[in-house]
Amino acid sequence: MSEASSRKLSDDLLRPLLETSWRFYALVAFLGSIVLMGLCTWAYQMYMGFGMTGINNPIFWAFYITNFVFWIGISHAGTLISAILRLVNAGWRRPVTRCAEVITAFALMIGAMFPIIHLGRPWLFFWLVPYPNSRLIWPNFRSPLVWDFFAITTYLTGSVLFLVLPMIPDFALVRDRTTGMRHKIYGALALGWQGTPKQWHRLESAMSIMAIAIIPVAVSVHTIVSFDFSMAPVPMWHSTMFGPYFVAGAIFSGIAGLIIAMAALRKFLHLEEYLHPVHFQNLGKLLLMMSLLWGYFVFAERLTVWYGNESAEIAVLRVTQTGSFAPLYWTMVVVNFVIPVSILSIKRLRTIAGCVVASFGVLVGMWLERFLIVVPSLGHKYLPYSWGTYRPRPVELLITASTFAAMCLLYTLFAKFVPIISIWELKVGEQEPFETAKERSARVLGEARP
Amino acid sequence: MSAVYALYSSPDAAQRAVNGLYAAGIAQADVVVMSGEPFEAQPFAHRDSATWLWYIACLGGFVGLVFSTWLTRMTELAWPLQTGNMPIVAWWPNLIVIFELTMLGAILATVLTLFVTAKLPGRLPKLYDPEVTNGKILVGVENPSAATLPALERALMAGGAAELKRS
Amino acid sequence: MAHKWGMAVDLDTCTGCGACVTACHAENNIPTVGDEQAARGRAMHWLRVERYWEGDFPDVRLKFRPVMCQQCDAAPCEPVCPTYASHHTAEGLNAQVYNRCIGTRYCANACPYNVRFFDFFNPQWPKPLHLQLNPDVSIREVGVMEKCTFCVQRISAASIDAKAEKRELKDGDIKPACVQSCSARAMVFGDLNDPESEVSRLSRSPRGGKLLEDVGTLPKVTYLARQTQV
């Protein structure tokens, strides 16, 4: 690309780093205070005892596990965009890839907090780490919770590295454009990157390997999270379909989260020239496809339960379709399936605004879906004498709200300190297409003919 | 002076300069090229492209596989506790942990090898120009001998550089 | 041969009086959670008497059954505990090790009988109630799971006494608190590996059945079906 446009690209995408308005500080202060409140609430819960939550007998898992599955699900956005689209050489992924990977990394960090928050004795969570110790006991590798620990550790490590490695050349760019303390810090972060062909080649090879490696890991992570449920003999949990169902749901909610993040960045960082409506339309088509897939899974599961007529499962099915959970269930169906399919299948409605509306609906719907998997089944197990109900208490609501604030806060801070669009990858996308000698001579000679 | 170099606006111009330097007798390993983005089309971008990275990644995965198989089996036998109707060494659950640690081994091996072979973290060398990240391509030679200097300068200017620089 | 502890409950003889529930509380230092927490579903009755009413007045039929941990041979609560706090002993009991429990509560979700209980708060025994505590049983702190142990402290004590006196354990030597306190003598405890013990005999009774047998947990409590209608 021409030098002028390359410079403009760098200027536009570095502007958020170099210029700060009062709105940034206000936003950080607001979000930070909510996050602080969440942390204090958690400390309060640990001090007063886990009884401060709404958990009871038999509903021993509720909001925190719902949040855990929800956030791990959101984290599948990055893998889909960065890894899968990279492997199929989809050029339109270039402006979107870092936005998506950031969502993955932060959603994983937030999601990984919840298995600790929901413990009765959270200060002992490190007992899941297999290291030689004086307790003479190892973790139980047969437990899906231990599988969770390994899966999330692997996925988090892989995702963070996948995010950080292509940031190195961009840190070099910022190093070269700044002076003073910024120059020193970004210089350190750039690790002395020069941009020799050897370095570029190694970086791109490493990214290809990581892309191939991270996809099966992502699939396995949400499958293992689904195993937390399907390994227990609880009505409507013990389903063989949970693995693929959860992975599809994760990708679904991940794309929705990505669309919202991209729309926000485009508006607040003035990235209209780099995030085009076609990007949103492509993601909107993916969201439509995932909505249909989600609908298919839900239909298949419920038809099987209804047709099979096993009394314990029918009790759970009934309580979600027509009983006390019916309002939540039908809301979920509307915002997860009816509204997204309606908006996204009509090209005129598949605008940026339309995609964002559909995505907000999907986020609400997917949170409800997780909740409706966890709580109704636990409340209606095999012995009706022990059936129960659940109502969330303030600690759970506050901690849940603070995780959403934490995600926004981390994202805002990231966009302030790192270019949110991968500058060098975008430049590669703008390069002249690679022609072979034959193609070039055909083009040149073809043009020369009158 | 420790280096002479020039900046080029297009990859084709840089390739011409590189070819000129080879013709002037500079060895491939002594020609320094730096750019702000990777290039596919030009031969200069494909130097040093032979790499063992894929094999090392597989090796890292293998190490992860062996380690996790040993870890799960050893810990289950070291303190054998009966749970449910499952065997003491339960292969189905172990496979899940083995899979995860295999992938982790591959990923870590890849990243470590990247850092080692790309010499990261490292110091920025003397021969560097911030214009590289502005879209220019740097082609130069470090520590040129006085005898070859005029030939080098001609080769670099013939590539179409605006000016010659020294550092 | 190693012992395999089991129980039998005669639902015909059981009057549903609840003495077993009270005895269990007393023997095992189970806290009473208070009316507000009990209303929220957090009562901790390791042994409970389940009651079901069928039909409308005046044709109401009542069914009741004491339910405690069934010490399943294929317990779903055991493989899911990440810290081995729930595991199977050589004598067939499902052990709950309070010190290893970090409170994930997965075992409680996996249990089809809902017989596992969580300490939501640190239990309190305002003076002079602390004098009633059984010194043979540990107090559980907030955040751990607990459940019926077939009064393992009584099993251990009897086994140690028998070993010290160099004799074998006889059927009837060990009586968990519920068995001991049942006024109708509806509950029986013993060694299922001893074909002559009363519990073995009752487990082979044609009236005998297991609770939620089709879930596949292999429970070790035999319920003898009620033959009279209430």
Q: What is the pLDDT along chain C (230 residues), one digit of tens a residue?
A: 899 999 999 999 999 999 999 999 999 999 999 999 999 999 999 999 999 988 888 888 888 899 999 999 999 999 999 999 999 999 999 999 999 999 999 999 999 999 999 999 999 898 898 999 999 999 999 999 999 999 999 999 999 999 999 999 999 899 999 999 999 999 999 999 999 999 999 999 999 999 999 999 999 999 999 987 65
Whether the Cβ atoms of residue C229 and residue C12 lie closer than 8 Å to each other: no
List chain B domain ranges. 3-50+124-166, 53-117
- What mean pLDDT is predicted for residues A290-301? 97
pLDDT of residue B18: 87
Q: What confidence tens digit (pLDDT) does each residue in A15-36 have?
A: 888 888 899 999 999 999 999 9
Q: Residue A435: is its pLDDT beyond 80?
A: no
Q: Residue A398: is its pLDDT beyond 90?
A: yes
Q: Which of B75, B77, B85, B92 should be substituted to probe chain C, the one whose Cβ sees the most C Cβ atoms within 10 Å?
A: B85
CA distance A144 to C144: 19
Q: Which of B72, B75, B79, B81 should be substituted to probe chain C, the one whose Cβ sees the most C Cβ atoms within 10 Å?
A: B81
C→B contacts (Cβ < 8 Å), by residue, are 73-76, 78-79, 81, 84, 86-89, 218
The answer to whether residue C86 neighbours chain A at the CB level (below 8 Å) is: no
Q: Which residues of A125-139 are buried (b: 16+ CB within 10 A; e: fewer)?
A: bebbebeeeeeebbb
pLDDT of residue A448: 54
Output the CA–CA distances (angstroms, integers) from residue C110 to A191, B102, B160, C113, in the order listed.
50, 30, 74, 9
Q: What confidence tens digit (pLDDT) does each residue in B2-54 have?
A: 788 888 888 888 888 888 888 888 888 888 888 888 887 788 888 777 778 89
Q: What confidence tens digit (pLDDT) does each residue in A114-126 have?
A: 999 999 999 999 9
Q: What confidence tens digit (pLDDT) does each residue in A178-233 have?
A: 888 989 999 999 998 988 888 999 999 999 999 999 999 999 999 999 999 999 99
Output the CA–CA distances (angstroms, integers) from residue C198 to A286, C6, C167, C187, C222, in the order listed.
66, 10, 20, 11, 12
What's the ipTM? 0.93
- B119 contacts on A by Cβ (under 8 Å): 192, 199
Mind giving me the DSSP string for C66-85?
A: EE-----TT-TTTTT-TTS-
Q: B3-50+124-166: what fold?
A: Alpha-Beta Plaits (3.30.70)
Q: What is the pTM of this model?
A: 0.93
pLDDT of residue C155: 96
DSSP H helical ranges for A55-190 = 63-74, 76-78, 85-87, 97-117, 144-164, 167-177, 180-189
Using CB atoms, which residue from A120, A122, A142 is nearest to C118?
A: A120
pLDDT of residue C27: 96
Q: Residue B159: is its pLDDT beyond 90?
A: no
pLDDT of residue B50: 74
CATH number assigned to the domain covering C5-224: 3.30.70.20
The answer to whether residue A50 neighbours chain C at the CB level (below 8 Å) is: yes
Q: Residue A439: is its pLDDT beyond 80?
A: no
- B39 contacts on A by Cβ (under 8 Å): 431
Mean pLDDT, chain B, whole residue set = 86
The answer to whether residue C215 neighbours chain A at the CB level (below 8 Å) is: yes
Output the CA–CA distances (angstroms, integers) from residue B34 to A186, B127, B130, B138, B154, in the order listed.
19, 10, 10, 5, 20
pLDDT of residue B1: 61
- A136 contacts on B by Cβ (under 8 Å): 79
Beta carbons of C87 and B81 less than 8 Å apart: yes
Beta carbons of C143 and A142 less than 8 Å apart: no
CA distance C20 to C8: 14
Chains that touch A (3 or more CB pairs under 8 A): B, C
Q: Give percent above pLDDT 70 in chain A.
A: 96
Q: Residue A381: is its pLDDT beyond 80?
A: yes
Q: What confidence tens digit (pLDDT) does each residue in B59-107 have?
A: 999 999 999 999 999 999 998 999 988 999 999 999 999 999 999 999 9
CA distance C44 to C37: 10
pLDDT of residue B112: 94
For chain A, domains (ranges, CATH) are 3-132+140-430 (1.20.1630.10)
